[in-house]
Amino acid sequence: MAGTLSSLGLGSSGALSADLIEKLKANDEQQQINPIKAKIENTQQKTQAFDLISSLITSFSGSTDRLGGDLLYLNRSTSVTGDGANITAENGVEPQSFTVDVTTLATKDIQQSSAFTSNSDLIADADGTITINIDGQTYDIEVTTTTTLQDFKNSINDIAGTKVSASILNVADGDYRLVVSSDETGIAQDFTFDDAGTILKAGVDFAETEVQSAGNASFKYNGITFTRSSNTITDITVGVSITLLKEGESSTATVSQDTSEIASELSAFAASYNALFEQLTNTTTSNLDEGTIGIFNGENSIKTLSREITKLIFQVDPSGNSLVNYGFDLSQDGKLSFDESTFNTEFAKDPSFVEGLFKYKTDPDSGEVTDGIFKKLDDYLDNQTSSSGLLKTFGEGLNNQLRSLGEEQNRAQELLNSRYETMFFRFAAYDRIIGGLEQQFAALNLQIQAAVNAK
C-alpha cells in the first residue's frame, strides 16, 4: 500500500495503524477472495482429471474403432511349401489353398554378335539403317561408316531401350561381343535385326548366336494348364501373386486369415479399458475409511459414462454369446483380462460369426445390418465426444466455470484493493489533521505553562 501511516488516534495512541489496516484487509481477503480461490483450485483439479479421462477415452476408442471396422479382419497370412513358386496374397483375399506345378519358365530372347577385336571396331561399309523388330514394333538405328561397336550399342539403348538392352562383353583377349536382350519375357519378345541395304562389314552378324530364345511360361494351377508370357502371374485370383521359380517343381500355398493383429488389438483394448476405469472409479467414488472423496463424486454425467461403457462391453446377443466366450473375463476388483489362446481357439471355429459379433453382420435375405459389440461401443464413444456430446459439453462447462471464477476473483480483488486504498488515504488525512492539532495543543500548553510560571 502506498505511503506510510504510523498511527492514527487521539494522542497518537496507535488506535489505528498501517499494520492494523493490512490485517483488516487480509481478513477480508480470507473471507471474500479465498473461497473463490478454493473454487478455482477445485475446478482446475476437475479439469486436469477430465483431461486425463478424455485422453484415456481417445486411446480406448482407438481400439473400439479398429475392432468395430473391417480392416483388422482382412489381414491375411500365406504359407508356401515347395520350391516351384513364391506366392503372396494381399489383405482381403478369400482364404484358400492351391497348388502350382511349374512346367517351363518364361524366358527372354538373348542374341550374341560375331566377334570384334575391340569395342571401337567399325561396323559398316556404308551409311544406312539397321532395324530391330520386336513385339510388332520396329526401331530404326542409323549407322555410318564411322559408327563403332560402342556407338551402335549406345544407339540401341537410346532408341529401343524400352524393349531391349544392349551391352558389350569382353569374353576373351581381343574378343568383344555385342549382347542384346529383350527386357521382358514371353514368345512375343523374340526380336530380329534387319540390314535391308546390306551395309554391314563382312563377317559382322549381330545375331550370330541365340543365347536364349524367348518363350512363355507353362504351369498347372490346381491341375489346370496355363500359359503366360511372364513368370509373375497376378490374373488368376485377384490379390494373389505367383512368381514361378523352378521348372519341374511344385508349390502349395495356403492363404488364411491372420488373427494375430486382432488378438493384439483385443489385448490393447483390455489394457485401455483398465486404465480408463481405474481413473473413472478413482474420480467418482469415496472411501470413508481413508477419508477420500473422488473429484467427480456426485457427477452423474461421468458415472453414466462408466455405466454405459460397461453395459455395452458385456452385452449378450439373443443366443447368449458375449466377449466372455472369446477370452475376456472381469475380476472382482473390476479388472478386464484377455486370454489370447481362448480367443484363437474359439475364433477358428467360426470366423464369420465372430466377426459379426464383434463388428456387424448383414442379413443375407433382407440386407439388414446389425451392429456388433465393438461397433456399438465405438458409436457410443463417438456420440459422447462429438460437438454436442456429453463429454464435450462437460469439458466446455468446466472451462467456462474456470473462466467465470477467474473473472469473479479479479473483480472481488479489485473492489477490495480500491476500498482499502480509499481507507488508507482517508485515515492518512485524519492522521495529518490530528498531528496538527497535537502540535497546536503542545504550543498552547507551553504558553499556559509560561504564563503560570510568570506569576
- Domain boundaries, given as residue ranges, for the chain: 10-32+395-454, 36-71+260-385, 76-105+217-257, 110-212
Q: Where are the beta strands (DSSP E) in 322-404?
A: 328-330, 336-338, 360-362, 369-371
Does the model's pTM come out above 0.85? no
Q: State the pLDDT at residue 27.
A: 87
Query: What's the CA gap between 182 and 110, in Å, rounded?
Result: 7
Nearest to 354 by CA among 364, 344, 341, 363: 344
Q: State the pLDDT at residue 285.
A: 85
Q: State the pLDDT at residue 426.
A: 72
Q: What is the pLDDT along the chain (455 residues), one digit of tens a residue?
A: 544 444 444 444 445 566 777 888 788 888 888 888 888 898 898 899 889 999 999 999 999 999 999 999 999 999 999 999 999 999 999 999 999 999 999 999 999 999 999 999 999 999 999 999 999 999 999 999 999 999 999 999 999 999 999 999 999 999 999 999 999 999 999 999 998 667 999 999 999 999 999 999 999 999 999 999 999 999 999 999 999 999 999 999 999 999 999 999 999 999 999 999 999 988 988 777 776 788 888 888 888 888 899 899 999 988 899 999 999 999 988 899 999 999 999 999 999 999 999 999 888 888 889 899 999 999 999 998 888 888 888 888 989 998 999 898 899 888 888 887 777 777 766 667 777 777 777 777 777 777 777 76
Nearest to 319 by CA among 353, 284, 272, 282: 353
| 3-class SS shares of the chain: helix, strand, coil, % to 5 | 45, 25, 30
Query: What's the CA gap between 420 and 2, in Å, rounded?
Result: 11
Contacts of 92 (CB under 8 A, 6+ apart): 74, 76, 239
Amino acid at 282: N
Q: Where are the beta strands (DSSP E) in 318-424?
A: 328-330, 336-338, 360-362, 369-371
DSSP 107: B
Sheet of 128-134, strand order: 137-143, 128-134, 191-194
DSSP 94: P
Distances (CA, A) of 414 to 40, 421, 446: 17, 10, 48
Distances (CA, A) of 205 to 119, 152, 189, 190, 202: 15, 13, 20, 17, 9
Distances (CA, A) of 242 to 246, 247, 255, 257: 12, 14, 12, 19
Phi-psi domain of 11 (left: phi exceeds 0; alpha: psi -120 through 50; beta: other) = left
Task: Report the SS3 class of residue 93.
Answer: coil
All three cell numbers of 365, joined, read 435375405
